[in-house]
Amino acid sequence: MIDKDVKKIALDIKSIKIQGASNIEKEAIKIILKYIKKKENIKETQIIELKENINLLINQRPNEPKLRNALNYILYKANMYKYENNNKKLINDIEKYETKIEEYNIKVCEIASNLIQDGTQILTHCHSSLVEKTLKIAYDKKIDFQVITTETRPRYQGRITAKNLCDYGINTTQIVDSAVGHFLKKCDYFLTGSDVIFSDGTIMNKVGTYPISIMANYFKTPHIIITTTNCCELNDLKNIKEEIEERDSNEIWNEKERPKNLKIKNPAFDIIPNELIDKIITERGVYSPESLYAWVNNLK
């Protein structure tokens, strides 16, 4: 049986009311923890139901390894403790995992904030909570810098970034997506998060990231990824056959208003090849795509 609170969070993830790899991961852990706390214990017979609720969340965003990795960890722990008389050990382990994830997020942002100096100009695309936190940490250090954010159509997630940065007092300018070339050539960095890091340092991120990364390479503006290692996809072949999530065409043009028989494609993500990535900043340090590949292979 699907828990009603889990179902609500699943809908919020699907509709992008909850968006961004880190936020999706955090909210999914929180709701599964709440679900587990409702149970006196998770016995072997209830593992099936727990798995059903976990799969519902994972299936809302198939291109989110952070989400998969976190919920698979919880399922692994549930199986470990299924013969216990209560859920105290399971709940304790999940709460520790929550704390660890938050510590990772803060650490990577602190490392990334060291890039930013007085006069730095940054362009960012979509909304990444880690990029946002990095910029806020730099601002708290009294560094004088400027941020340019894209609108990030069709869902305008760039407005989330722009509003949050402006509310914090950060010097922020919003541009339409098609104006990127005009501004990027004057920027010191192109900063983004990443929904997926493949084992060779190739990344998947919000659609529109790829052409901006190509332009950044042309202008010699480093494309720097701010993420955590639990975003890594360990399967070497995954990026070759990864299916890109296709969003509702009504996000682009409402069916009632657009011409009949018009075809609309609305992919959610781009895959950005590793040769366009300058650095990948994680809680474990700063990697090139090549050195990240070596690190990931040591995990296998």
Q: How far is CA 123 from CA 135, 170, 223, 229, 259, in A?
A: 11, 13, 10, 23, 35
Torsions phi, psi for 150 (to 5 deg): -80, 160
266 Rama class: left (phi>0) / alpha (psi -120 to 50) / beta: beta
Q: What angle do helix axes 65-80 and 44-60 make, rounded to 10 degrees?
A: 180
Cβ neighbors of 213 (< 8 A, separation 6 or more) are 190, 223, 272, 276, 277
Q: How far is CA 46 from the centre of its chain?
A: 30
The answer to whether 39 and 87 are in contact (CB under 8 A) is: yes
Q: Is 177 marked active-site?
A: no
Q: Say which of 3, 109, 187, 195 is annotated catalytic.
A: 195
Please give the Cα distance from 221 to 185 (Å, whole number): 7
Q: Is 232 marked active-site?
A: no
B/e letters for 151-167, b = 16+ CB within 10 Å, e = fewer, are: bbebbebbebbbebbee
Cβ neighbors of 11 (< 8 A, separation 6 or more) are 17
Please give the Cα distance from 160 to 64 (Å, whole number): 20
Torsions phi, psi for 272 (to 5 deg): -110, 115
Q: Say which of 3, 109, 126, 270 is annotated catalytic.
A: 126
Please give the Cα distance from 300 to 287 (Å, whole number): 18
Catalytic residues: 126, 195
